[in-house]
Amino acid sequence: MKYKDGKGNEYEISYSQELQQKILNELKRSQKLQKKSITATMIMITLLAIVVIAIIFSFIYLDQKDAITYLGRVVFC
């Protein structure tokens, strides 16, 4: 592996530096994946909460209009 400085000169780096660079790159990649995972989890929790609230609201609204009883009679009787 080679290191290029600001002037464009290339230098060979030692194995331990190469290993440290690979570990650093892997840690950065891992952090990015964790951020994406947290973001996706938060989006899924938000969508689930919206769906649950919509279901609860529709049950309350439909119960007030007696629609659940009407649907039960149509479907099961």
- Cα 39 to Cα 34, 35, 44, distances in angstroms: 9, 6, 9
Range of the domain at 50: 2-76
The pLDDT tens digits for 9-56 are 777 777 788 888 899 999 999 999 999 999 999 999 999 999 999 888
Amino acid at 44: M
Q: Quote the number of domains for the chain.
A: 1
Mean pLDDT of 3-11: 76
